A and B are shown apart, each in its own frame.
Chain A
C-alpha cells in the first residue's frame, strides 16, 4: 500500500495569509523545503517560494518557521475557526 496524502487532510477555508517569506533575509538554505511534509516550499531561479495554495494544504506545524535560522519566515496561525482540522488527532 503506497499512501497518497491527497485527501488525508481536511481544511476549513476562509483564512487570510498567515505565512510569508522576506526574501531580503532568506539565505537560501532550503531548510523549509526539507521539513515541510506537504511540500509547500520550492526553489525557482535561486529563490524560495511558498505554494500559492498553501492555505488549503498547510498542516500548521510551523516547522518552516522554526527551522528558519535566518528569521525570514513569518508564521501566525490562521484565523480562528479556519485552517486544518484533525478529527483523529
Chain B
C-alpha cells in the first residue's frame, strides 16, 4: 500500500489545480486519471473566461498557441434567433461594451481550446510542482478503516492511503457516492449535453467568422444551442435537464444542423463533422453536501458549474485550489473532520464562484424557463423580440402606421410576457440589486402601469394637418 498526504481522484482542471496547490504546499500528492492522459475523456467547457486570467495570472500567461494548438480568442458573440418554422429570423452580434473594466476582458470574451489540449497543459503545472500523476487508472472505491475513509482503491485492487481524498471525478462521481455525500443527482440537477465537433479550415473560420468566439442559437424548436470556435474547428452542442427530454437529445441537435441557415454556414465554412461527443453536466441552484470527514468534492463532482451558463472549468479551478488549501491546513493541524473541512464552504462562498451562486436559484429558474423551454417560452419570445428588433425594417406601410402596427403586436404578447417577467425576471432583478428596486418593481404596480403605457400609443392617426 502506498501512502500519501493527499489523494485526488480526477485530473481535469479542478483536480490538477488541487494537485498543484497541494504539492506547492509540501503535501505528498497523487492524482488519478482514467484516460491515457488528462483531457481525452472530456468534451466541453473550454470557452475559458477572462476571470481565469484575473485569478490565475501566473499560470494563464503561459497558455499560448504553441502549448495549445486549438487555441482561439474571440471578442464577439453572436445570438441567432430561430422561430417555430426553423427560420433564422434575426441575429445580434455583440462585443465587450464600454463598461467592461479590465484586460483581457476588454479584448476578448473567451479563449477557446479543446480539453485534449488544455487538461494536459494544466496537469503539467501539478507534476512540475511535484505531484504524482497516475494515468490509465480507474479508481473504483474509497478505502475505509473502522468506517472511516482513509484512501482509495483502483480497479486492480491496489490501495492508496491518505487522510484526505478530494473528489474531482466529474458529474458521475464515485467519491461522492462512496462517501455517502450523494447517491445520484436528481433529474432536475443534471443535464445531458450532446455535441458535434466540426473541422473547418482556420482561414475559412477567420474570413467568415472574423473574431467571433461563440454563438448561441436561441430557438423555438430546440433548447438553446451553443457554437464555440476553435483554431481549426467548432463545437455545436445543446443540453437540457434529464427530465425535460421528450425525444432523443440528438434529434434536437440535428434540428440545429438541419436549419437551412446552418447548412449554408457549414457549406461556406467548408466544415465537416469530425467527432460526436456527449457528457453529463450538473446544473444546480446551489451546491450542497460538498464535504464530509476526510472528503471534499470540487468542480462538477461538487455541483459547481455556473448556474447561468454552466461553464465548469473556472469553478473547478477555484474550488480545486481552495480544497487543497483547506486540506493542507487540516492535515497540518491533524483535524480532518467534517467540521474542520467546512472551511471549504466558507472559502468558496467568498470567491467569484460563491458570488455567482448568490443569485443561483434565480439564474437557474430563468434559464430553465426560457432558452430551455423552446415550446413554452421561446415560441412567443423569439417573434416578440424580433418585432422589437426588426419590425421597423419594413416598407409595407407608411412608417408611423408601421410603428403603431408593431406596438399593437407587441401588446398582444403581453398576456404571456408579463406573467413570465413577474415570475422569473423580477426575482432575478430584485436579487441582483438586493431589493433596492422593490418600490418601482412591485409586480402589482407594474401590471397596472404597463397596459396604460401601451394605451398611450395612439390607435388612430390624428388629423394633425387639418387646421394648418
Docked-complex contact A35 and B245, CB < 8 angstroms: yes
Contact B242–A67 (Cβ < 8 Å): yes
Beyond A34-B247, A66-B190, A79-B138, is A89–B242 a contact (Cβ under 8 Å)? no
Across the interface, A66 reaches (CB within 8 A) one of B35, B70, B187, B277, namely: B187
User: Binary interface profile of B, 24-62, with partner A (CB < 8 Å = 1, else 0)?
Assistant: 000000000011100111111000000000000000000
B399: A residues at CB distance < 8 A: none
Do B42 and A76 have beta carbons less than 8 Å apart?
Answer: no
CA separation between A25 and B220, bound complex, in Å? 37
Partner of A86, one of B43, B137, B184: B43
Q: List B135-153 residues whose CB lies under 8 Å from chain A.
A: 135-138, 140
The residue on A at minimum CB distance from B115 is A89
Taken together as a complex, chains A and B put the C-alpha atoms of A86 and B196 apart, in Å, by: 11
- The interface residues of chain A, by DSSP majority, are classed as loop
Q: Give every chain B residue within 8 A of A2 (Cβ-Cβ).
A: 258
- Taking a contact as CB atoms under 8 Å apart, the answer to whether B257 and A81 are in contact is no
Q: Does A26 contact B (CB under 8 A)?
A: no
Contact of B192 among A5, A63, A87 (CB under 8 A): A63
Residue A23 is within 8 A (CB to CB) of chain B in the complex: no
Shortest beta-carbon distance from B384 to chain A in Å: 31
A34, A65, A80, A81: residue with the most chain B Cβ atoms closer than 10 Å: A80
- Chain B residue contacts of A87, Cβ below 8 A: 40, 114, 116, 275
Distance of A77 Cα from B115 Cα, bound (Å): 19
Quick one: closest A residue to B253, CB to CB? A37
B interface footprint on A49-64 (CB within 8 Å = 1, 0 otherwise): 0000000000111110
Instruction: Let me know if A86 and B40 touch, CB within 8 A.
Output: yes
- What count of chain B residues pass the 8 Å CB interface test? 53
Q: Is the CB of B197 within 8 A of A88?
A: yes
Which residues of chain A are within 8 angstroms of B233 by Cβ–Cβ distance? 88
Assess the A3–B42 pair: CB atoms within 8 A: no
In B179-237, which residues have CB < 8 Å from any A CB? Answer: 184-185, 187, 190, 192, 194, 196-197, 230, 233
A3 with B257: CB separation less than 8 A: yes
On chain A, the residues within 8 Å of B250 by CB distance are: 5, 37
Whether A89 contacts B275 in the complex (CB less than 8 A), given A3-B254, A63-B280, A80-B137, comes out as yes
How far apart sit A89 and B368, CA to CA, in the bound complex (Å)? 25
Please determine whether B280 and A5 come into contact, CB atoms closer than 8 angstroms: no
Task: Let me know if B138 and A37 touch, CB within 8 A.
Answer: no
Given A61-B280, A67-B187, A89-B39, are A79 and B274 neighbors across the interface (CB < 8 Å)? no
**Which residue of A34, A61, A80 contacts B278 across the interface (Cβ within 8 Å)?**
A61
Inter-subunit contact A1/B41 (CB<8 Å) = no
Binding site for B on A (CB under 8 A): 1-3, 5, 8-10, 12, 34-39, 59-63, 65-67, 69, 75-81, 83-89
6 extra interface residue pairs, beta carbon distance < 8 Å, beyond A61-B279, A88-B70: A59-B278, A61-B278, A80-B136, A83-B41, A89-B40, A89-B41
Sorted nearest first, the 6 A-B pairs with minimum C-beta distance are A81-B136, A89-B43, A8-B276, A61-B278, A88-B197, A80-B136
